[in-house]
Amino acid sequence: MTALTDTLLHALDSCDMLIIDGLHAFNFALDEQGQLRVECMNGRTLEHWRFTPAQMEAATFDKASNHWIITSDSGDHHLECVEATSGHADEDDEHEDA
């Protein structure tokens, strides 16, 4: 995420994955109350975070490290919004019968 004028909420709309405090999280969504809920596995432990709309609105973008800093009841967290890349599933037919 490089656009400096965007909000965290706008950045979440265009990303496929979050990196939160160094952990890759594909499971994140806004719930009915507008809270951001994030879950990911850290080894065998399920980690989860919840951020209120006010906390998301107050999040700041750190240009130097290219991530968002958001504060929750448990302290500061670093979020990086990532767009996923995918490879093509097409396989080349390398072996042909002669």
CB 20 within 8 A of CB 49: yes
Separation CA 74–CA 49 (nearest Å): 9
User: What is the CATH number that goes with domain 8-82?
Assistant: 2.30.29.190
% of the chain at pLDDT higher than 90 = 65
What does pTM read for this prediction? 0.76
pLDDT at 83 over 70: yes
Stated length of the chain? 98
Compute the average pLDDT of residues 87-95: 54
- β pairing state of 23-25 and 17-20: antiparallel
pLDDT at 38 over 90: yes
% of the chain at pLDDT higher than 70 = 80
Domain ranges of the chain: 8-82
In this prediction, residue 2 has a pLDDT band, given cuts at 50, 70 and 90, of very low
